[in-house]
Structure 1
Amino acid sequence: MKLKIPFFSRSLFVILFLANTSLYAQNWDRDLFFNAEARFKVGNISLALKQFDELLEKWPDSPYNGDARYYRAVILYRMGNNQEAYQAFEVIEKRYHFSRYIHYIPFWKALIDYDAKNYVRALQLLSNLDLNKLDDETQQQALLYKGKAALALDNTDLALKAFECLNAERFRKSLRVETEGTLLVYLSEMYGRLGKYDEQIKLWESLPAEGLNPEIRESLALRTAEAYLVQGKIDKGTVLLDMLSVSSNREIAIKALQYLLRFEQRQGHDDKVASIIVRSENLLRSDPKALAMFWFQVGSSTFYEGKLDLAKSYFLRVLAIAENENVTQDVPIYLAEISWRQGDKKQAMQILSDAIPRLNDKKALLLSRLQWYALQQEDWHDAIRFGEQALIHAEKEGREDISALVRAYSSYALYREHEYTQALLILGTDPIPPGPKELSLRLQSRLFQKTGQVVSALDSYNALIQQNPFNPEIQIERMSLLFEKSQYDQVIASSKEIEGKFDVAKITSPYRFGFLYMKGVSLAITSSTAAVYSAAAEVLIKALENGPPGDIAFPWALYYKGWSLYRASRFIEAAETFEQFARQYPDHPQTYPAAYLGAWSYARQGLYEKSAILAQRAAAFAGASDPLAKARARYLEGVVRSFTSDWTGALKALDLAASFASPLAVRALFEKGNVYYRMGKIQEADTVFATVQRNYSQEPQAEEAAYRRGELYYEAKQWREALERFTQYRQTYIRGNKVDGALYFSASIQRELSQIDSAILLWERLIREYQRSTYRLPAMIALEKAYWMKQDWENALRVGTNAIVEFGDAAKSAGLEDDVATLRYLLVGMNEKAARLQVKLIKQQGVTSMAGRKTALELARYYIVESSQREAGLALVDQVLAYVGEDPGSAAEAHFLKGEYYALLEAWEKSTDAYLDAINLAIRLKAGETRQDLIPEALFKAVRNSQRLGKTESAKRLVETLKKQYGTSPWAKQADLLMEASR
């Protein structure tokens, strides 16, 4: 019977079938990937590569493609196809972000960069790795290569940090044997180099007893033994060395014996030294060359410890062992260096010269040493000669390194002989010249500079800086090139860059001085503000602290220090610096300006005596060839001497300044007139100014002198003589610069001579014709006062109002605002005193203020006592009384004035009551809150009123109170007289 399948069931069956078919298809790429991965992990990378390529070709959309490409890139790297591997890793980074190994890509790229010696890029990649996303082994390798890359870049701190971090992992997880060995070697070497003996010992004591390569263990043991000895752990150190001295590795054994030998020599243990020598000889007995090498190594190491005599004895033993052998050049080189360091330079060169005939083949190094010694003695000729010989032998021996060194030294000798073109010819213009890399490039840069090839010199220094980014001296030399070409802005930019990278205090002294000098001078030359000048001065102060006084730039540094201080308005420091400069460098081209500016600086601080002395010295420094400089110095001397009342010296200096044919002659003569004026010799001053006016009529000072003649007599209050000269000035210089001043002072003189109308005419003319004159406001003020004197209120009001409109606050502060307000009252017929008090009262906001109430009382007194407007006074009194709670002192005075008011009306009762109210209020006040004699005066006037009313008893009681309380008051005496007169 055939089974029927419903339609929906058949559809489900088809779907399941198709799904299973798809899954079955996907299993092929998965199986191929895992199979290739397995091959990779067991080390069959060739077959693994083939299978990964097959996967990528057949299934380009497989989800395993990212990981497959990763494995493929790693295989390419391991097979040495670094460039192809690098490109493959970059493809994964760009297109396969979801690969399981995406975080490993920077690690492998860093390894490739490291292999290509791109240490900077390698270190950057390794430093940015997220180690937490890597497996343990890759983490370890990343730390290892990070340390190696940092070490290659001389970044010792970072290298040590990476290695120590990896070493910490060694205690937490086991390292691969190769990784552990490499780490221990690097770490131990760094500890030894940096003198980290504690860390060296800890590293050694942390090593496992088994499993470490014997060669590595013995190498570490040798360094640890040295650390033990340095730290004073002698037993541990010597035990290690004894153990190593019998090593099967003869090189290790020899080094151990060398360490032991040096140690026992330092300890002075002659018996142990002899024993070690015997052991060394026994070890090397069968090999004289090896024994000689042993003594040579001991001698060289002892040499580097600074024990020259002991080293010499070892080298002589080498010569004794090799007596019948061909002598190598190394031993005489060491012996010569020992003599050199001991001060016998002639012997050093003789040792090398004597050794040359005994050398059958290799002589290049020895001859290069002779060249070096000649350079050290600045014997440039012999340095060139030895260099020529050394170069011949270096080429024969195939020693390109010595050849390059010798060429560099020869070029330097020629440079010092000022043979710049020949020196550059020997050194060459290649981007990488022969010889010590840094020295040769720097020399080449200098030679480019000396031969005028500025662009090449700058390019050369730029290349030097790129190759030596941690050498500040090279950057300072480049800075000097910019400085020589007056590129001061670039010098300042370079200085900032250097300070951002280096600690200037740690730069060697000559370069530190040069750096500070160039920076300070550049700041001084380009500055436009006092703050920058001050900063330049501080830099130059540091330069002078670090600079050799004999350096050609030292006086310039001192001069620009003074200049910067001067421009920063630090005048005392500037003057002292300039004075020091003039004293130390009398023949320097900047001595005159230094002395002159020093004199100015002293003058700016009021130290005129010092200023005069320095100005006199400046004139001496100027020389006969520069009359203007002499005149300038003498002129300054004359001016400052006059400030100390040294009239004789001032006149003499000014006469000298005027005697030179220079533009300063007229100024000196003019200043001579000022000196006579300050001496009080008006007529002599007038004569000098007249001479200026007559002999230098075309000079600006002629007009100034004519005007000054009027000022002389005006200030001496010789009015008629002053008026005559101001009038002469106005007639001679009709359109002169000071006609307005002459008008103003002429008018003022007319006022002093009581010629008010003439004064008014002159002031009116000044105001009308000279609208921008500085005398315009003073003239308006004076004119307003003149009209006031004539009681011409309308004109006075006109002038005052115009002045306020034109000059605003300046006119108001001169009192014109009050005058104008007062004039308005005067125009309506008010008394002047009342008008002024009324204006004052309004300004003080009436009786609402304390001051206003005082003024109101003063005005009320005027109305009540001095005028017929008594009711106006009474109104003011009542206004003040309204503030009795706030100002009882003024209220007491107000009651008193009310008493005065009623007394004048002969209303004696009301008057007496008002006086008594004043007394009662004043009694309760503190001292100073009202006038002192108010109570006795009020009592006296109350007594007088009582008598007028016939109240004799009341009058007697008041008198008794007055005498008892205020017996010393004049009012008490007057009261007595009043009572006697009434008897």
Structure 2
Amino acid sequence: MKKTALFILVSAVLLVPFSLAAFTTERELFSEAESRYHSKSYTVAIELYDEFIRTFPLSDLVPDAQYRKAVCLFRLQRYEAAKALFEAVEKRYRTTRYIDYVPFWKGVILYELGDYYGSVNNLDLFLETKSEQELTPQALLYKTLSEVSLEYFPEAKKTMYELIRVKGMHALTPYEIVLNSYILLKTEDPGMLIRFQDDSDFESLPEMWKEKALLYRGEALWSLGEIDRSQEVYNQLLDAEPRIASTSYRRLYIIAQQNNDFSEMEWILLRAEEKLAGSPAILKDLWLRTGIESFKRGEFDLAEYFLSKVWNLRKPEDAPEAVPMYLAQIMLDRGDTDSAREVLEEYTALTGREPPVVMLMLGNAYILQENFSEAVRVLELIIGKYPDSANAPEARYMLAYSQYRLGKLTPALENCEILIANGGDGFLREVIRLKALVLKKQGDIKNAARTLSGYVASYPQDSSAYVDLIKLLFLNNEYKEVVSLSAGFFNTNPGIEKDDPGAFLLLVYLRGLSRIALKQYNEAIESFDTIDPVKAADTGLSVILPYVDYYEGWAYYRLGDFRGAVLRFLDFLSSYPTHEFAARVLYMSAWCYYSLGDFKKAQVQFSRVARGKDTALEEEDHEKLILEDLGTGDLSLQDLSFRDKALFLEGKSHANLNDLPEAMAVFKRLFEDNPGSPFADDALFEYAGILAQKGEVDLAAGKYYELWGSYRSSSLAEEALYKRGELFFNNKLYSK
């Protein structure tokens, strides 16, 4: 019985090896913890370090125990706890002999936790101490990995170069060889990648690492344009693990495509789909990448084929936004806005997501369809949900444009001002132009012109902006500014006639009209003579040509050069017989003939006007026809009743030709058919005069009296009474 009790007691002691009873001194307990640490029994080591710290809290070895415990926590992948303890060591246990190693461990832990900035900073602190050569390669490796994770590839390249210097080329691990190959590929140094691999004897790498190294080698050769050599590498990788094989199939497909080898393309695609059938995600990625690369090469049909394969497999949880984006862009480029909109709408409905880049493209599709209300809804959503996204400024610009098109001018202007206040956010030129349009539509021509004036001062080579500015100045009746600004623009842009003939012709035209308004008729003729009809037609400005003829004729007329005027008017009538100005030009040509004393031709032209349809237009209609929405202001054109005045002048032409019967018939028709005409009293006066000339005294006297009675307010009324008395006196009819 005593033996049994003794056995139990001994067993109990043996089964509790870590109790204080097992160690009589702090050195023995610490040594046992260290032994467990070095044998990688980290859980047991942590228990022993904790027991040591509890038992000997004042020991000089406590800082070392805390440090070792933190390392054990790291080895057990308890990264947060390890990080917290290393930070405590830095602050409270700095007497540990391992204090210089703490930044190393913190750098490694922060890498594992995804804090790559913190990792780099701590590893730099460690490397600066140069206290532990054994840990230096690991520190350089983890620093490289953090820099790669941050996509700081040039920095990673330098760190990796230092690692190679420290370890030596032939001491690099397969992982480090592959890592450096990747970095050299990302830093676009394919030549160095090839040389590095050749120096590192990558052919002897284990198969798993060799496949990755070969893939990077193939990509380097591809970027160097050594297609045949890259093709050899890719052919070696067709049976590699799926992700590597996928890239190889994709590259080989592109090579076959570039060679127009359709049978090879089909074979590669079939083999790839067979190889990757067990990895649907990788196969879908192959289609996606091939589609995107085809898009970037301009092979839009192929791009749509591959992207559609991915799209047709879509599921809410794994629908990549790149697919609807590229598909929609292909559809938009070919003008199929309905399909583009449907793809984007389906994506948002399918996934329940509204990423700003997708919504921006959807907004663009609505704009192209002129569905500005929906565009506003989508674009406001982007700005509301993603105000800090890279797409927000473009969304705001598109929103302002949509609001402008809807006539919501106040919010459109507010959005323009927000963008301008932020420096335009990459859209400054477009925003300023839009702001000017909004102000113009609000009727604030002065501020619209001021806005564009500031713009052209910053972008003097933008000819379309100069055209818009000059249009605004023209609208605002600032004709001197139009002439001055256009002249300055031509001086600073001497090649504009060749570089932008449309802008050149329109500016010359506006300058000519402004000179008409300023009564600078010779200069106006000079401007209009510069306009080449063929070039105007080629640039879509045929609409201005009738007005060029008309106003140049008007300039000649105002100068008293009736011969030059009539030639230009006849050109107009020959080229544009059905134009809205035809009646006006016909009348002007008749008047020029009349002024030249060519009464026969004047009579013919006046007769055509008088017997044709009265197409006289209000001045504002002329302006709209001339420049669509510009307006010309008062160009000294009177609002005439062409038909009545033409009829009157036709009669005068007959009278001047001594064709009195025809003259009388014309005058009579005018005052009898249209007694309310402003020319009826003139016609009646001329009619009475011809009767008097023919000796028909009583009839003539009667018509003079009729004029006085019917048109008392006429300037000819008193003249008619005088003529009537004179007629009686000359014929000795004194009693009358």
CA shift at 1:353, angstroms? Answer: 0.8
Candidates 483, 487, 499, aligned match of 1:496: 487
What CA distance in whole angstroms lies between the structure 2 residues aligned with 1:247 and 1:639? 102
Cα 1:310–1:627, aligned 2, differ >3 Å: closer, same or farther? Answer: closer
Match of 2:572 in 1: 577
C-alpha distance after superposition, 1:468-487 (max 9, x if no partner): 33321112111111111011
Distance 2:350 2:224 in 1: 42
Answering whether residue 405 of structure 2 is matched by residue 392 of structure 1, we say no
Matched, 1:415 2:404: yes
- Pick from 525, 528, 536: which aligns with 2:520? 528
Aligned equivalents of 2:272 and 2:429: distance in 1? Answer: 41
1:4 maps to none
- Contact 1:516–1:543 (CA<8 Å) still a contact in 2? no
Alpha-carbon separation, structure 2, partners of 1:526 and 1:597 = 21
**Match of 2:328?**
336
Counterparts of 1:154-193 in structure 2, within 5 Å, are none
> Which residue of structure 2 aligns with residue 608 of structure 1?
602
Secondary structure of the 1:326 match is: coil
In the alignment, which residue of structure 2 is the partner of 1:633? Answer: 646
Task: Report Cα offsets for 1:621-654 as digits up to 9, x if no partner.
Answer: 4599x89665423212222345677655432332
Match of 1:683 in 2: 695
Identical pairs, percent? 18
Taking CA–CA contacts closer than 8 Å with sequence separation of 6 or more, which of the two structures ends up with the larger relative contact order?
Answer: 2
**Deviation sequence 1:194-248 (CA, Å, 0-9, x none):** xxxxxxxxxxxxxxx999xx9xx999997885xxxxxxxxxxx754765897999
- CA deviations on 1:916-968 (whole Å, 9 max, x unpaired) are xxxxxxxxxxxxxxxxxxxxxxxxxxxxxxxxxxxxxxxxxxxxxxxxxxxxx
* Paired AA for residue 366 in structure 1: V
- 2:477 pairs with 1:486: yes
Q: Distance in 2 between matches of 1:513 and 1:468?
A: 20
8 Å Cα contact 2:549/2:572 also seen in 1: yes
| 2:138 paired residue number | none
What's the counterpart of residue 683 of structure 2? 668
Q: 1:638 to 1:254 in 2, by over 3 A?
A: farther
Q: Structure 1 residue 530: deviation in Å?
A: 3.6
Which amino acid in the other structure matches residue 609 of structure 2? A
Residues 641/357 of structure 1: CA separation in 2 closer, same or farther (3 Å cut): same
The alpha-carbon distance between structure 1 residues 412 and 220, as it changes in their structure 2 partners (threshold 3 A), is same
The aligned residue for residue 650 of structure 1 is 663
**The one of 477, 500, 513 aligned to 1:507:** 500
**RMSD between superposed Cα atoms in Å:** 5.5
What's the TM-score, normalizing by structure 1? 0.40
Aligned 1:336-415 pairs, distance under 5 A: 336-359=328-351, 363-395=355-387, 398-399=388-389, 401-415=390-404
2: CA distance between counterparts of 1:612 and 1:452?
A: 41
1:580-591 matches, cutoff 5 A: 583-585=578-580
Which runs of structure 2 are paired with 1:529-608 in the superposition (5 Å)?
Answer: 529-530=521-522, 532-536=524-528, 538-539=530-531, 545=537, 559-560=550-551, 562-564=553-555, 566-567=557-558, 569-577=564-572, 583-585=578-580, 593-601=584-592, 603=594, 606=598, 607-608=601-602
Question: Any residues of structure 2 matched to 1:747-786 within 5 Å, and which?
Answer: none
CA distance in 1, matches of 2:355, 2:549: 51
Deviation of the 1:383 alpha carbon: 1.6
1:425 and 2:414 aligned: yes
Instruction: Tell me if 1:463 matches 2:454.
Output: yes
Structure 1 Cα separation of the partners of residues 542 and 605 of structure 2? 29
Q: With structure 2 as the length reference, what TM-score do the two structures score? A: 0.52
Letter in structure 2 aligned against 1:474: A
Contact 1:410 1:423 (C-alpha < 8 Å) held by counterparts = yes
Once the 2 structures are TM-superposed, how far is the Cα of residue 577 of structure 1 from its aligned partner? Answer: 2.1
Q: Which amino acid in structure 2 is aligned with residue 652 of structure 1?
A: A
Amino acid in structure 1 at the alignment position of 2:648: Y
- Compute the displacement of 1:691 (Å): 5.9
Larger radius of gyration: 1
* Secondary structure of residue in 1 paired with 2:512: helix
- The offset of 1:536, in angstroms, is 2.7
Corresponding residue SS for 1:584: coil
Q: 2:468 aligns with which of 471, 477, 494?
A: 477
Unaligned runs of 5+ in 1: 1-187, 189-208, 226-236, 711-720, 732-983
Structure 1 contact 390–406 (Cα < 8 Å) conserved: yes
CA–CA distance in 1 between the matches of 2:305 and 2:715?
Answer: 93
Deviations 1:793-824 (A, max 9, x none): xxxxxxxxxxxxxxxxxxxxxxxxxxxxxxxx
Matched, 1:311 2:326: no
Q: CA 1:492/1:549 → structure 2, altered by over 3 Å: closer, same or farther? A: closer
**Aligned letter for 1:573?**
R
Letter in 2 for 1:264: A
Q: Is the alpha carbon distance of 1:504 and 1:380 closer, same or farther for their aligned partners in structure 2, counting shifts above 3 Å?
A: farther
Instruction: Answer yes or no: is the 8 Å Cα contact 2:321–2:358 preserved in 1.
Output: yes
Report the CA distance shift for 1:333/1:495 in structure 2 as closer, same or farther (over 3 A).
same
More divergent stretch after superposition (379-388 vs 593-602) = 593-602
Give the alignment of 1:17-166 within 5 angstroms. Answer: none
CA-to-aligned-CA distance 1:836-856 (integer Å, 9 cap, x gap): xxxxxxxxxxxxxxxxxxxxx
- Counterpart of 1:355, as a letter, is Y
Tell me how far 1:574 sits from its aligned partner.
Answer: 1.5
Shift of 1:356: 0.5
Q: Could you tell me whether the CA contact under 8 Å between 2:549 and 2:568 is conserved in 1?
A: no
Distance in 2 (alpha carbons) for counterparts of 1:335 and 1:559: 52
| Amino acid of the structure 2 residue aligned with 1:462 | S
